[in-house]
Amino acid sequence: MIDLSIFFTGFAQILGKCEFLNPGGSVKDRVAVKIIEEALESGKLAPGGVVTEGSAGSTAISLATVAPAYGCKCHVVIPDDAAIEKSQILEALGATVERVRPVSITHRDHFVNIARRRASEANELASKDLESGQMNGKDLEQINGFGSGGEKHTSFSLSNCKGGFFADQFENLANFRAHYDGTGPEIWEQTGGKLDAFVAAAGTGGTVAGVSKYLQEMNPKIRSFLVDPPGSGLFNKVTRGVMYTKEEAEGRRLKNPFDTVTEGIGINRLTQNFLMAKLDGAFRGTDIEAVEMSRFLLKNDGLFLGSSSAMNCVGAVRVAQSIGPGHTIVTILCDSGMRHLSKFYSDEYLSQFGLTPKANGLEFLGVQ
């Protein structure tokens, strides 16, 4: 836990839990361990099996880091607009990586839905006891439309493994339990129970749900908040009870389920994990606020943080402005900036969207 309040002069005490120091480099290490351990205990996954997941990056990296320790393989389906360094890390860790076009979650070829199918295909292959590398002369189905019209197509072998297990980070409540049993109690212990508020963004919703529920049970006076990026519908769900985004109201069809340069946060559906959250309110965060916050922390504290970590810190300042000085606020520093070099930390990329950082302090949050 690091005290950020010396850089946010005049605010409440703001503490950041340094999850980027985990072995796999992010808060998702907790989720990966919990998902795999529960799957092995239940018999849904066997040593020698393959864990599949659809992920924009951090969960996939954590699964690829953890799976070999349990004697398992890892197969990841990732949208091709995610920062390329995430795929490179996954391949270096030994995972099989599929990069596919980003489409709506309702589409059968959404990266999460493809990952689910890969687990089923691995189970089918295992049940037929095929020899390594053989698939009856047939490739697995072509991925997400690639291969048509003469485009390059790559087949992905899931043979030579003892079945597959779809991690399902969005709906698998092992995600929630990882934070209810681990992150929440650690925050309580590390603060001595002396905190007034917790704030975090949500992707799967596991972190904000597990932590908020645990803290509320320990002390009902502790308030928990969501910070939500552009295009996500969770802010309106928390504050108005309806999933709604400005982009949808304007009739725009978005390439992604949400429209933001931050990765791994924001969503337009309610997951089983998010439904477990106990929230007292929500704040909107913008892309430029996240970008500026990341540069502010780098300049003032030498903290090189990823996009979701920066958005969480934006949320922490918003909470501090709301509840006033004399309080202690905790947030999560999810991962470092090393996985965000080609996009969130690329001046060329950001300039395309008018997101070039210019602030000298925290004036972008109305702080003089």
- pLDDT tens digits for range 150-169: 333 334 556 677 899 999 99
Distance CA 276, CA 167 (A): 19
Radius of gyration of the chain (CA): 21
Pairing of strands 13-18, 328-333: parallel
pLDDT at 57: 74
In the block, tokens 């690639």 appear at 146
Domain ranges of the chain: 2-23+179-360, 27-132+159-166
CA–CA gap between residue 148 and residue 320 (Å, rounded): 53
Helical residues (DSSP H) of 153-220, grouped into ranges: 174-178, 184-190, 206-218
Average per-residue pLDDT in the chain? 88
284 pLDDT higher than 50: yes
pLDDT tens track for 84-106: 888 999 999 999 999 999 888 88
The answer to whether 297 touches 336, Cβ cutoff 8 Å, is no
Q: 332 - beta bridge partners?
A: 17
Q: What is the pTM of this model?
A: 0.88
**2-23+179-360 and 27-132+159-166, same CATH topology:** yes
Q: What is the CATH number of domain 27-132+159-166?
A: 3.40.50.1100
CATH of domain 2-23+179-360: 3.40.50.1100
Beta bridge partners of 74: 51
Distance CA 211, CA 247 (A): 30
Q: Give the position of tokens 């309080």.
A: 327
Q: Which pLDDT does position 148 carry in this prediction?
A: 29
